[in-house]
Amino acid sequence: MSVITQATLADVRELNVLVNSAYRGESSKQGWTTEADLIGGDRIDEDMLTTYMHDEKVIILKHTDDNGCITGCVYLEIRHPKLYLGMFSVLPLLQNQGVGRKLIEEAEVYARKYGCNTLIMTVISTRSELIAWYERRGYKPTGEVQPFHAHGRFGDAKQPIELIVMEKGV
């Protein structure tokens, strides 16, 4: 049976492979959430994931399949009164099968658990299909636009990229 639980340090290697396969490289093109044509390089690395695991304001939820393999994850960061969602990833071949929906629903549970009344995220402004997916789940653009991270920590933009901020009350 598939379950969603909090990730641990023991999951860092598998999470790293999952997130990078969902966002970048040829494997990401098997799903619909790829950024491979927009951003080069890795989305994350094991050092960054390890840092997240040691941050008391960060929770990474993992979705595991019947065999215990990690098939999806979402990064949650407590920013009272909001809970930030990021690094939302599902294995490309399992996208569009409900894993992402389950992770988002569990993130909402965590928001309430930690006293946060709003979920917030950033999405690449040109990703209309992804924005529409979030809108169907109740997220709305706030009107705020942020530049893509120029420091290269999350990859190197192949073109100018802006991020829109979306949020949902819980």
The confidence score (pLDDT) of residue 96 equals: 87
How many CA atoms does the CB half-sphere of 168 hold within 13 Å?
Answer: 19
- What DSSP element (H or E) covers 101? helix 99-113
Half-sphere exposure of 8 (CA within 13 A, CB side): 2
The rounded mean pLDDT for the chain is 91
Residue matched to tokens 């690395």 = 45
For the ranges 8-17, 34-43, 53-62, 101-110, the lowest mean pLDDT is seen at 34-43
pLDDT digit string, tens, across residues 4-49: 999 999 999 999 999 999 887 677 777 766 776 776 778 899 999 9
Residue 132 to residue 140: CA distance in whole angstroms? 10
Euclidean distance between CA atoms 52 and 54, whole angstroms: 5
Place of tokens 């860092």: 12
- Please name each of the domains of the chain with its CATH number: 3-121 (3.40.630.30)
**Mean of the pLDDT values across residues 102-122?**
97
156, two tokens: 């190197």
Distance CA 55, CA 73 (A): 17
Outline where 9-88 has alpha helix (H). 12-23, 25-28, 46-53
Q: Specify the pLDDT at position 120.
A: 98
